[in-house]
Amino acid sequence: MAKSSFWQKVIDIDRRWIYLVIGIVTFVPILKYIGMPVAVTSEVKAVYDMIESLPPGSIVMVPMEFDPATAAELEPMSRAVLRHCFSRNLKVISTAFMIDGVVLIERDLREIAAEYGKEYGQDYVYLGYKPYMQIVLLNMGENFRKPFPRDYYGARLDELPMMFGVNNYSNISCIVNINATSGADYWINYASGRYGAKLALGVTAVMATDYYAFLQSGQIFGLIGGLKGAAEYEKLIGRNKDVANRSMDAVSVAHVFIILFIVIGNIAFFVTGRQKRL
Amino acid sequence: MQEVTFGTVLWMTSAAFLTICIFSFLYRDNPLYRFAEHLVVGVSAGYWIAILYHTSLTDLWIEPLGASISAFGQPGGSFVAKFGALVLNILPGLIGLLMFSRFFAKTSWISRWPIAFYLGVSAGVALPLFLQSFVVRQVAANMVNPADIFGTMAADLTILFNYGNSTLLFWQGFGELIIVVGCICGLAYFYFSAEHKGIMGGAAKVGIWILMIGFGATFGYTVMSRISLLIGRFNYLISWVSAIGDFLRI
Amino acid sequence: MAFQYFVPHYLSAAIYQNALNWTIIIGIFTLVVGIGSLISLHYDKIARRKEHWPYSVVTMVALALMTVIGLWSPDAIQNPRGLFMHLYFFVLAPVTATMFALLAFFIASAAYRAFRARTVLATLLLLSAVIVMLGRVPIGEYMTGWLPEGLRFSDIARFILDYPNTAAKRAIYIGVGLGVAATSLKIILGVERTWLGGGQ
């Protein structure tokens, strides 16, 4: 009976103790950085290889659809991709179809471009936000100027040197869409499906497993999934000490503890279940 | 390195305070959490209004409308063309304004017209494209020649028996077999028009096994995703403490 | 709009273009209606002094302030030193991010309390989750790096993601695609009328 009351106590433990343990095991590895190596996967390497293969001056579209809620996963990824593009002297067009992230993405673009001495209008353009992205994506397939007569800063697209002769997806070498929403489906259906644009996705880990089917079918050429994907991309561009890489220790330890919780919970469940039957 | 000013420290402290207010919910629901929650709802709504106005309403409706009105005062161009442009610019705004009839019980039925327009356009564009990307392309990718799959597996087994090492191509072939069979069985599981008995029942059973493995993978990634969000907040709190430290040293 | 997909005629393209533009403009008003509903809800709470009504005052004041600050200056959303940006980065962003960060605690608690290997299928799901959780982080490589290639957590996780997971999600997407097509047809043909709401 003593045994069953112990395991019963284990099952009935106040959830706040679990919260405390998770908080500690996630926080401590951030303070004490170990630097466990991150292995690169083929789907992330495919995105890296595509950007590497583009000649300088090529235009890449990096639309970013995330907000502060998902920025912890997607901001490191988008920064790594932007750094790679700017370091290769590629020109970048960006949009933000998630309204809560419009200002955040503008800041990221501006800061990363400044790191590489890039000039707005010459090396990168930020189109900004428009609602109902599925409609805007279709419109952009005809001409960027239709849904975006002006860029985010109010300048007409025709006034921007980079946009001379750039009308729609056919003038873009590839699209690397960083997305936290089901809008990724619209990029697949509309930009890639209807207009044949070369598309790679960078998505949250929650969504990543859903897009392996599109990777296998060739509808997307690469997939960066979650903070791990961001860490892989940072490693590929030679920035092993950036935020995603430094966070992988904490992710590892937290995973181990969650698995431990699952195992303990199951042991307690089966022991108490057996005790009840006896 | 950027200099940390008192203003920066003050703003970062307010952000850290709000972060801790939200985290306090883990202990229990409390007034601080409710305050932060209601504050962000208001700030978010105001933010939406500003962004919608500056990025969308002005350059998609207000400016073209203004241009089409001022075109009447300019020489050149036919009156019919100018009037047509004005109508094309006014109409979407008028249809959109009909949405506000929802706030009045007697006239709320009028809002069905703009909803009908939006739904019609969305449904119309979605129909062929979803079929193409989600069905046709996916079914096409599933149509792998079984001879190729078994050929790959057999070739790897031959290498294994002859040379004692494997190129792991057997598992690649086996995996492709899982994709082909697993997808068909998964569809069989979701097909409820026929009873899950006999061959159909067997296929559905294999299908649910494949689905469970897929959902397990999704759960594993979901855990990573949630932990990543928590790490993001901890990184912010560390940077806040670091900013205070930098400021006090100055 | 479904038909124009197959018609390359310039008139079809012109109608397509205008329809898309109109939809975006109408959509903007729809979003504003949503905000109007929020204002209506909180105003009602304050007027009738319902439970927790002081918090609704906080919401309304915050909404009014943010709107005025955002609309007052034409470059409010572009000025990184402006009050609008500061309110976004130091009020909206941290609170939104922290609310989602709470999910980490909840998923750990849910995994502890509810994730039970009661049946064979549940065990399969659990095993798949554990392998992917360990295989996709560096610690998995540490734990099983000594095993031959193909047997490590990372290799098994890769196999799970590339093959059974792909099969499962493909089956789901085919179902979703057929469902979207069927629902779109029902809406277009007037069979599906739930979007009309209640009444006549």
Mean pLDDT calculated for residue range B171-180: 89
What's the pLDDT at C199? 47
What number of C-beta contacts closer than 8 Å exist between B and C? 379
Residue C189 pLDDT grade (very low, low, confident, very high; cuts 50, 70, 90): confident
For B91, the token pair is 């109409």
What's the pLDDT at A214? 95
Percent of all residues in chain A with a pLDDT value above 90, rounded to a whole number: 83
> What is the average pLDDT score of chain B?
88
**Chain C CA closest to residue B169:** C150
> pLDDT, tens digit, for every residue of A124-152?
999 999 988 888 998 899 899 989 999 99
Q: Is the pLDDT of residue A261 over 90?
A: yes
The answer to whether A209 contacts B126, with C-beta atoms less than 8 Å apart, is no
- DSSP per-residue string spanning C55-77: HHHHHHHHHHHHHHHHHHSTTTT
Mean pLDDT calculated for residue range C155-167: 94
What's the pLDDT at C93? 96
Mean pLDDT calculated for residue range B18-24: 97
Q: Is the pLDDT of residue B163 over 80?
A: no
Percent of all residues in chain B with a pLDDT value above 70, rounded to a whole number: 95
The answer to whether B214 contacts C187, with C-beta atoms less than 8 Å apart, is no
Q: Is the pLDDT of residue B216 over 70?
A: yes
For chain A, domain boundaries: 42-248
Q: Is the pLDDT of residue B250 over 60?
A: no
Among partner residues B55, B132, B225, which is closest to A206 by beta-carbon distance? B225
Mean pLDDT calculated for residue range B160-176: 74
Nearest to B138 by CA among A207, C174, C182: C174
Mean pLDDT calculated for residue range B27-35: 95
What's the pLDDT at B164? 62
CA distance B119 to B153: 49
- Separation in Å, CA of C146 to nearest CA in chain B: 18
Residue A37 pLDDT grade (very low, low, confident, very high; cuts 50, 70, 90): confident
- Asked if B10 is an interface residue toward chain C (Cβ–Cβ < 8 A), one would say no
DSSP state letter for A91: E
Which one is predicted more confidently, C41 or B157? Answer: C41
- Asked if B1 is an interface residue toward chain A (Cβ–Cβ < 8 A), one would say no
Q: Any residues with CB less than 8 A from the CB of A195 and at least 6 apart, and which?
A: A141, A168, A169, A170
The answer to whether C78 contacts A41, with C-beta atoms less than 8 Å apart, is no
CA distance A80 to A242: 9
Helices (H), A1-41: 2-11, 15-31
- Asked if C180 is an interface residue toward chain A (Cβ–Cβ < 8 A), one would say no
What's the pLDDT at C200? 46
Mean pLDDT calculated for residue range B108-128: 81
Mean pLDDT calculated for residue range B160-175: 73
Which one is predicted more confidently, B73 or B28? Answer: B28
> pLDDT, tens digit, for every residue of B197-209?
899 999 999 999 9
> pLDDT, tens digit, for every residue of C33-56?
888 889 999 999 999 998 889 999
Among partner residues C126, C138, C140, which is closest to A262 by beta-carbon distance? C126
For C29, the token pair is 């008003």
> What is the average pLDDT score of chain C?
88
Residue C29 pLDDT grade (very low, low, confident, very high; cuts 50, 70, 90): confident
Q: Which of residues 187-206 of B touch C (CB under 8 A)?
A: 187, 189-190
The answer to whether A67 contacts C117, with C-beta atoms less than 8 Å apart, is no
> pLDDT, tens digit, for every residue of A199-243?
999 999 999 999 999 999 999 999 999 999 999 999 999 998 899
Among partner residues B59, B141, B217, which is closest to A209 by beta-carbon distance? B217
What's the pLDDT at A132? 85
DSSP state letter for C92: I
CATH architecture designation of domain A42-248: 3-Layer(aba) Sandwich (3.40)
Phi (first) and psi of residue A147, to 5 degrees: -80, -25
Measured between beta carbons, the chain A residues lying within 8 angstroms of C32 are: none
Residue C5 pLDDT grade (very low, low, confident, very high; cuts 50, 70, 90): low
Phi (first) and psi of residue A125, to 5 degrees: -135, 135
Mean pLDDT calculated for residue range C147-174: 92
| H or E element, residue B38 | helix B31-51
Owner of token pair 């493909």:
C170
Class of residue A192 by CB neighbours under 10 A (exposed 0-12, middle 13-18, buried 19+) = buried
What's the pLDDT at A56? 96
Nearest to B134 by CA among A196, A209, A213: A213
Q: Is the pLDDT of residue A4 over 60?
A: no
- Residue A103, CA distances (Å) to A183, B34, B56, B221 in order: 19, 26, 14, 28
Phi (first) and psi of residue A163, to 5 degrees: -90, 5
In chain A, the N- to C-terminal Cα span, in Å, equals 11
> pLDDT, tens digit, for every residue of C93-143?
999 999 999 999 999 999 999 899 989 999 999 999 999 999 999 999 888
